[in-house]
Amino acid sequence: MCAAVAAPLRLASRLALVTGGGSGIGRAICQRFAREGAAVAVVDLNDSAAQETVKLLSRDQPGQEHANFQADISSSEHVANLMSQIQAQYSRPPCISVNSAGITQDEFLLRLTEEAFDAVLKVNVKGTFLITQAVAQALVASGASHGSIINMGSIVGKVGNLGQANYAASKAAVEGLTKTAAKELAKFGIRCNTVLPGFIATPMTAKVPQKVLDKFAGMVPLGRLGDPSDVADVCAFLASEDSAYITGACIEVTGGLYM
């Protein structure tokens, strides 16, 4: 068995904004970024969850300050206030942004309500748009020479899934949004990429019966559900200069599912 290797300090002195940072994949991303030296602005609608994440973050580097912020990312007013608060706290905009916040309201197409459809797209698509736009605007205004925006899609956005017409549509839209942002922002040195998780063990999947989870795991060529840290590893790569020539990409983190 290979020994675990400590995370390199690829993100030292950088400021990262992570939405949905209060749990699951978002929390794992915050933890990985902190281990790699970044200061992390943890954003979540659930402020107590964001506070819990902040308590878990390492502070091994000089000036490595983490803070929690409460915001509804589907509200332009909330997002504007969030950016103002981050600017006041750190005196600079985040050069790394991960849009991990998202919701589901699953139902079969024949019974899916307009309200449930709108609610999922409002958070997953509009929220991703508002954060992407706000971070990009702040970076351009500051004269920053580089930035990395990482948006959380889903393999469901590529292949669909029973009972998730709204969620699949929202994640497909995130992919298109991110590719377009990558084309427009490249001239400013801002890279934009999408990560597509597959079946990941999170608080959301904890509500699923074990026999169903076992069935999912059996569909994955690598033979297991993903861990949030698997997604965080890819985000750390995309946030760092190790991926300096990658933009507009969609990276699947699925254990080989649907390949």
Residue positions annotated with a catalytic role = 167
Distance separating the N- and C-terminal Cα atoms of the chain: 27
Token digits of residue 222: 């690598």
Cβ-based burial of 79 (10 A; exposed 0-12, middle 13-18, buried ≥19): buried
C-beta separation of 61 from 8 below 8 A: no
- 3-class SS of residue 42: strand
Site of tokens 């490249």: 186
> Measured between alpha carbons, how far is 41 from 17 in angstroms, rounded to an integer?
5
Token digits of residue 142: 């500051």
**Which residues are 98's β-sheet partners?**
18, 150
**Which residues are 97's β-sheet partners?**
17, 149
- 3-class SS of residue 68: strand
Cβ-based burial of 72 (10 A; exposed 0-12, middle 13-18, buried ≥19): middle
Residue 20 C-beta-side C-alpha neighbours within 13 Å: 26
C-beta separation of 249 from 192 below 8 A: no
C-beta separation of 100 from 73 below 8 A: no
Phi–psi pair at 62, nearest 5 degrees: -55, 130
